[in-house]
């Protein structure tokens, strides 16, 4: 542990020659990140201040100050005589429910503003860090350079001219009706979703959909099942709602449905990414889909179907949505335009069981009211005039080609270190480290040559079953990805020679 820890920090701190106070806060930040991302786990013992100071070539006081602060923040626990340990992060399903503090147990006169326990949990879990620039391997990122921005500009101008001041007033909290109708048509024809436009809710992001589910359907202490490994944004949103997470393993057919039930209490809902599981890329088989629906009907539980990126399937027709396999009353379906068009758009949607529509709209009015009307109206025109379908078709071809070249390059340059299967769809590929190679180490090696490797570890709850990376192939031209691979391959070879 000690060596590994110092190694990771050394790489992170890099060749800085900063003032001591900067180093303290840098050090804190890195240790926090190592804890939040699960690189160092609950109860793990940290190196002594003396040895870490020596390893990093910084003063012992600096390390002491950083540990002290992290102790105050609750990340670390210092035990006199036995050392410094990572505090329990409390992120995995446990047999005792979280305790909700009653007002009386909170100290009556704290003199500075403190976070609520919920706020502390959220801060500790760490939020979602969206990449603000595109660099090689960023996972689940579309190509934005090919977006027809000039079409968007002209449509915006025209929509403002045509609608005038009507666009400025509050719109329907459920979403601009003409847009809902286009979403409905698209989902019915392309994804086999069974609904009517009144079941569609326009949101700003999948994250908002998850947040709404948390607000509306999750009581503190409820058990929510999630794919393991799985999408971290879903985990964080459901944890923030106060639920316990029940991790359920994924095999070649997708989530193992028979493992969903929990012996302690009913599982309220399960979050799945059936089109291509995030991050493994597997498609949930039709047998599993039926099994999942049966489970949901028998237990009265909900299926949360996140159909992200289902537009991008390269080798065969995608399976229709789970939502459309029966009456859809057991499924909350969600999708987003932010990956298909561009990330800063901020428009997404849900399809809700009829009986949940009213409550979701109501809760949404409390979250942020509604989505911007102008953007919704522009998107509506973009879809109506065929630009949406054309863009998807173009992107599918582009990403298909990029995927193939990316896989060839992986086999050529990284085959010694990783094992990766060609994903049937999506924007990323799961790469598993071969025996003898470690995730943390590989991340540090990549970092030393300026490459950020998105890890699989952060997508697991508990001990990762497999180590590796989730590499994005869609956002950048293949030659950019390939030259990063060459660099990474060389750095790995240098280290392991």
Site for a copy of itself in 411-440 (CB under 8 A): none
219 preceded by a cis bond (ω within 30 of 0): no
Alpha carbon 107 to chain centroid, angstroms: 36
Q: Which of 37, 48, 359, 422 binds a copy of itself (CB under 8 A)?
A: 359
- The interface with a copy of itself within residues 120-139 (CB under 8 A) comprises 120, 122-123, 126-134
Dihedral over alpha carbons 122, 126, 130, 133 (to 10 degrees) = 150
Q: Which of 2, 20, 144, 390 binds a copy of itself (CB under 8 A)?
A: 144
Contact criterion met (CB below 8 Å) for 405 and 483: no
**270-296: b (≥16 Cβ within 10 Å) or e:** bbbbbbbbbbbbbbbeeebbebbbebb
The answer to the question of residue 342 lying near a copy of itself (CB under 8 A) is: yes
Q: Which of 62, 84, 199, 205 binds a copy of itself (CB under 8 A)?
A: 205
Please give the Cα distance from 256 to 254 (Å, whole number). 6
- The interface with a copy of itself within residues 171-200 (CB under 8 A) comprises 171-173
Structure tokens at 316: 């065969």
Contact criterion met (CB below 8 Å) for 453 and 443: yes
Please give the Cα distance from 485 to 432 (Å, whole number). 15
Phi, psi dihedrals of residue 298, rounded to the nearest 5°: -65, -40
Q: Where are the alpha helices (DSSP H) in 342-477?
A: 357-367, 373-384, 387-413, 439-448
- The interface with a copy of itself within residues 266-295 (CB under 8 A) comprises 266
Tell me the closest approach of the beta carbon of residue 266 to a copy of itself, in angstroms: 5
Q: State which residue, 28 or 280, has the beta carbon closest to a copy of itself.
A: 28
- The interface with a copy of itself within residues 295-324 (CB under 8 A) comprises 297-302
* Residue reference for tokens 């995030």: 278
- The interface with a copy of itself within residues 207-266 (CB under 8 A) comprises 207-208, 210-211, 215-223, 233, 236-237, 240, 264-266
- The interface with a copy of itself within residues 93-122 (CB under 8 A) comprises 97, 100-104, 106, 108-120, 122
Please give the Cα distance from 487 to 473 (Å, whole number). 16
| Site residue total, a copy of itself (CB under 8 A) | 106
Stretch that binds a copy of itself, among 58-66, 285-293, 343-351, 481-489 (CB under 8 A): 343-351
Nearest to 273 by CA among 263, 282, 262: 282
Q: State which residue, 3 or 264, has the beta carbon closest to a copy of itself.
A: 264
- The interface with a copy of itself within residues 385-414 (CB under 8 A) comprises none
- The interface with a copy of itself within residues 434-493 (CB under 8 A) comprises none
Tell me the closest approach of the beta carbon of residue 162 to a copy of itself, in angstroms: 11
Q: Which of 330, 381, 442, 455 binds a copy of itself (CB under 8 A)?
A: 330
Q: State which residue, 145 or 385, has the beta carbon closest to a copy of itself.
A: 145
Please give the Cα distance from 431 to 420 (Å, whole number). 5
Tell me the closest approach of the beta carbon of residue 61 to a copy of itself, in angstroms: 23
Q: What pairs with residue 455 in β-bridges?
A: 469
């Amino acid at each position: 542990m000690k060596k590994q820890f110092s190694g990771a920090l050394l790489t992170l701190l890099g060749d800085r020659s900063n003032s001591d106070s900067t180093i303290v806060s840098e050090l804190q930040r890195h240790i926090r990140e190592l804890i939040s991302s699960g690189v160092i786990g609950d109860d793990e013992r940290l190196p002594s201040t003396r040895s870490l100071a020596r390893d990093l070539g910084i003063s012992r006081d600096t390390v002491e100050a950083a540990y002290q602060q992290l102790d105050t923040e609750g990340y670390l626990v210092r035990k006199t005589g036995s050392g410094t340990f990572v505090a329990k992060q409390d992120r995995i399903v446990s047999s005792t429910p979280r305790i909700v503090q009653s007002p009386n147990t909170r100290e009556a006169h704290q003199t500075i503003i403190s976070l609520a326990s919920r706020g502390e949990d959220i801060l500790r879990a760490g939020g979602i860090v969206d990449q603000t620039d595109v660099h090689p391997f960023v996972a689940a990122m579309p190509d934005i350079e090919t977006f027809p921005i000039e079409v968007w500009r002209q449509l915006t101008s025209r929509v403002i001219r045509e609608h005038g001041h009507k666009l400025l007033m509050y719109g329907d909290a459920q979403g601009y009706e003409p847009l809902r109708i286009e979403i409905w048509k698209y989902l019915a024809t392309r994804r086999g979703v069974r609904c009517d436009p009144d079941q569609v809710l326009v949101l700003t992001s999948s994250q908002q959909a998850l947040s709404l589910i948390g607000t509306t359907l999750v009581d503190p202490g409820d058990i929510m099942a999630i794919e393991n490994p799985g999408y971290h944004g879903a985990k964080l949103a459901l944890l923030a709602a106060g639920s316990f997470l029940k991790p359920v393993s994924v095999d070649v057919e997708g989530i193992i449905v028979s493992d969903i039930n929990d012996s302690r209490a009913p599982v309220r809902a399960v979050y799945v990414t059936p089109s291509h599981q995030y991050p493994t890329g597997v498609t949930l088989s039709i047998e599993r889909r039926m099994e999942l629906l049966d489970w949901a009907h028998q237990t009265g539980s909900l299926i949360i179907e996140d159909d992200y990126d289902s537009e991008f399937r390269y080798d065969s027709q995608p399976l229709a949505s789970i939502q459309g396999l029966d009456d859809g009353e057991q499924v909350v379906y969600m999708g987003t335009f932010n990956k298909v068009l561009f990330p800063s758009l901020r428009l997404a949607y849900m399809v809700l069981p009829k009986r949940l529509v009213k409550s979701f709209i109501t809760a949404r009015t409390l979250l942020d009211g509604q989505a911007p009307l102008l953007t919704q109206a522009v998107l509506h025109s973009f879809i109506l005039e065929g630009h949406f379908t054309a863009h998807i078709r173009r992107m599918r071809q582009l990403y298909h080609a990029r995927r193939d070249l990316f896989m060839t390059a992986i086999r050529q340059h990284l085959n010694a270190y990783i094992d990766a299967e060609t994903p049937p769809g999506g924007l990323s590929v799961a790469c598993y480290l071969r025996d003898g190679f470690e995730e943390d180490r590989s991340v540090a090696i990549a970092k030393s040559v300026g490459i950020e490797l998105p890890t699989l570890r952060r997508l697991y709850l508990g001990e990762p079953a497999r180590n590796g990376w989730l590499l994005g192939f869609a956002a950048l031209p293949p030659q950019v990805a390939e030259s990063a691979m060459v660099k990474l391959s060389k750095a790995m070879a240098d280290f392991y020679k």
